[in-house]
Chain A
Amino acid sequence: MDGVKDILIIDDDKDLVQSVRIILERRNYGVRVAYNGKQGYDKIEAKPPDLIILDVMMATDTEGFDLAYKLKQLPEYRNIPIVMATSFPQAMAEQGPEKFQHILGESWPVSHFIEKPIDPEELLSVIEKILTERDKEQ
């Protein structure tokens, strides 16, 4: 085993974080959690995870996106895959006020979108697929 895969969950909903943690730990992933973007970034700086599960709307409507963009601009973190979990469907982002428009102009900084409520099997298969592909690339 090439070590335990380290997954960072960033979401302000503690119950949801707990649920995801249960799902991931059952598959023997190493799980770290953060409850906002700043905390998440600190944990990434401390040790870059193998994958990030990120919520969109936290303290601000775009906190998740803002963090994702920030990471994509930094070479050392650019390649960390991000799974974005949101009950904020893409269509809504298209309809939202201008503050969302700038996001749509650029490519999504995210490997995969997963819609809440999270389906455990779907989440696990997405994570597995992304991590396998990443291992192959390396």
Chain B
Amino acid sequence: MQLGYELVREQLFFRKELIERLPWLIRLRWIAAGTGLAGCAAVYFFRHTLPPPPLVMILFVVLLYNLFFRLIWQYVPPFKYQKDLPLADSHLINARDVQSFSNFAHLQISTDLLFLFLAIYYSGGIYSPLSNFFIFHIILTGILLPPASCYFYGVIVFLLMGTLILLQQWALAPIYPVWLQDGLFSNESGQNEIIIRYFTMITVILVTAFLVTTIKLSLRTKGRELLRLSKALDESNSKLTALYEMVKEMGLCSEPKALMDSATRQAARIMGVKACSIKLMDEQKGTLRFASIYGLSEDYTKSKESIDIRKSSINRKIIEGSVFAVGNIEEQDYFQYPEDIRKEGIASMICLPLRVDKMVLGVFCVYSDAVHFFTDSNIQFFALMSDLTALEIEKLNAQLNRNWFLQKSAHQLRSPMHTVISMLKILRNGYLGPMNARQEETIERCNKRIEMLDSLISDLLRLSISRANLSPDALRPVHAQRLLLSLSGLFEAQAREKGVEIAFQIDESLPSVMASERLFDDLFSNLISNAIKYTQPGGRVAVSLTRSEEDKLRFEVTDTGIGIPEEAFPSLFAEFFRAENAKSYTESGTGLGLAIVREILDRLKGTISVRSRIGEGSTVTCHFPLR
């Protein structure tokens, strides 16, 4: 089935040449007949001899039927569609139409041959100067039509000319004088010369036919090879594109399960099979468990929930590094539960180890419902896919582990600190008896310093996570305005406590942006809290979230606070930097807030600009691309 289709495709590819040449043939005929008539006129003009009248008439008839062919090309289907079709699309013509094109070529060539023969007859038969023109037809046939047609026309010429000579020799047909015989050619010769001339002509024609068809055949073989190569290239190109898409999709996953589900779904799609699975290995227990399944029923996977590697020789071999490929499940007696496999409709399968270097993570399998579905190149491609999937899994795991380590370290640092804070609270709240004023003040200072240490640890953690690009947040559409609205009460309370007026202007109709709520939360908190913190009581903070003129999400915080000195601008986003006036205004502050903001902006592809005048206030503006 596929073979037949491929054959037609290949034929269509070669027939393209025929289709391109047909109008060219018509154009060529205008020139040939036109030149013929011009030649007659020139002969008359220079030599004052009239050309044979039938010859002139033939030339006119040629022009006439060429007009007819031109009209067919222009107005009769399927030819008329062809002229509107760009060349690259000629493969769209179907096989039946190709036959029409071929017939049209035969019609033109045979008509030409007939009229050329008549012209030769009326201008001196075998001695006519036109008799060599047969070669052109043979070459044209050789180019346009299959080799057999080329020889067929060669034989027709051989028969036509032979019959003519015989008829003339037997005086059954009149001999016309050779055109231009007085000056250029002569037919003053005997019978032997006629035969020699005849056979020379026929030899030339047949040799030409042979050369043209041989050259054409060898070109066609090369063309066919090229076609096959381009098809293979096409296939591997689309496979690689699919693989790239697969890796890209896996790279966006923030959780191993989602990553593996994406891998199995994509692998089944790209390989064109019914199912795919990933089993992960638990090294301590020596078991394999299904971690992701695509296209297999629950019944099938449930019975193999946990596979003991020691007992399953197939899985053991795969983990040791060999490819397990079964072309026909029925033919091999490998399986513990062949019934299950049959019931699932699996006919062939390949399983490969999922590994990074020498470390095996598990087993990756694809299942087909056709026997002998997997070819060598298929298996190789699947191996590539499996290696890439293993790398992505490992990368994500490493990322999660590092992330986890950072969080764990932060927890370990904060735990004792929280205990200290709890103990200080007991002291301050008088659970251990009353304190004098100096004791109370000292405890208060201890408390303040330790709370600063706590926020420093939180900020450091946040920063190192985003700096190492370890953020587990997958970006998804987020409505920033909803988030800001929900947080606004918190900032209002903060501002009220400090005696600062705060106003929000939020465009509620904004579309979503690709982000994560946590990132926006951090961004809003850092910038708004900063504004409140560095604005004296009685001052104002204005927060706006709108759509900018450049169609971007615009977040702006303006305050009437202490402002930023000019010399601080270059280091504003550096870690641990705090401007001198900020330090003297308040002790609290880690100097990491704006560094975190910058990291968030990098992640969300946003931009930030700061305008400020010392003593008058600051305006921070961020822009984000809308979705």
Contact = CB atoms under 8 A, between A and B. Distances in A.
Nearest to B430: A26
Contacts of A75: none
Interface of B: 256-257, 400-401, 403-404, 407-408, 411, 414-423, 425-426, 429, 431-432, 472, 518
Contacts of A3: none
Given A95-B407, A116-B414, 16 more contacts: A13-B415, A13-B416, A19-B419, A19-B422, A19-B423, A19-B425, A19-B426, A22-B432, A26-B431, A87-B414, A87-B418, A96-B404, A116-B419, A117-B420, A118-B418, A120-B426
B431 A22 contact: yes
B426 A98 contact: no
A119 B425 contact: yes
Q: Which 4 A-B pairs have the closest CB atoms?
A: A117-B421, A116-B418, A117-B418, A16-B419
Contacts of A120: 422, 425-426, 429, 431
19 contacts: A13-B415, A13-B419, A19-B422, A19-B426, A22-B431, A87-B411, A87-B414, A87-B415, A91-B518, A95-B407, A95-B472, A96-B404, A98-B256, A116-B415, A116-B422, A117-B422, A120-B426, A120-B429, A121-B429
Interface string A60-77: 010000000000000000
Nearest to A18: B423
B124 to A, nearest CB: 98
A87 B461 CA distance: 14
A93 to B, nearest CB: 10
A88 interface: yes
Contacts of A121: 429
Interface of A: 13, 15-16, 19-20, 22-23, 26, 57, 61, 87-88, 91-92, 95-98, 116-121
A23 B426 contact: yes
Contacts of A15: 419, 423
Contacts of A97: 400-401, 404
Nearest to A61: B408
Main DSSP-derived SS at the B contact region: helix
A92 B422 contact: no
B394 to A, nearest CB: 14
Q: Which of B401, B421, B422 is packed against the most chain A CB atoms within 10 Å?
A: B422
A22 B411 CA distance: 24
B425 A117 contact: yes
Nearest to B447: A117
Contacts of B422: 16, 19-20, 116-118, 120
Contacts of B403: 95
A38 B301 CA distance: 36
Contacts of B426: 19, 22-23, 120
A88 B416 CA distance: 13
A119 B256 CA distance: 38
A137 B357 CA distance: 61
B522 to A, nearest CB: 12
Nearest to A122: B425
Q: Which of A91, A96, A97, A98 is packed against the most chain B CB atoms within 10 Å?
A: A97
A125 B400 CA distance: 38
A96 B401 CA distance: 9
